[in-house]
Amino acid sequence: MTLYEVLEYGPIVAQNEELGILITANGSYLNFWIAESHDQWTNTECRSFDFDGNKCIMDLSLSKVVEKAEQWLDEVLENELNEQNA
């Protein structure tokens, strides 16, 4: 998918430009994207917004959505670093 197609899934709420990672948010999910090439992205995972008792993005403030997306990104990067150091 191109970046324009990725954005159809929702706005970017977290990213790591150096590693080619984006997280977008839509009505119920955070979507995790990996850059395959310059403008080709693959959706590798999604995570429900069903945390803290919320069922939908509309139940959360934008700052809370960004906070959850950044936490997920940090978890993924930390796990990857731990695997490399093992």
pTM assigned to the model = 0.83
Taking only the tens place, the pLDDT of each residue in 20-35 is 999 999 877 899 999 9
Contacts of 23 (CB under 8 A, 6+ apart): 12, 13, 14, 15, 30, 31, 32, 33, 69, 72, 73
Indicate if the pLDDT at residue 54 is higher than 70: no
Q: Which domain holds residue 58?
A: 3-85
- The total number of structural domains that make up the chain: 1
Where is pLDDT greater, at 66 or 58?
66
pLDDT of residue 84: 84
Q: What is the mean pLDDT of residues 40-45?
A: 94
Indicate if the pLDDT at residue 53 is higher than 90: no
What dihedral angle (degrees, nearest 10) is formed by the CA atoms of 61, 66, 67, 73? 150
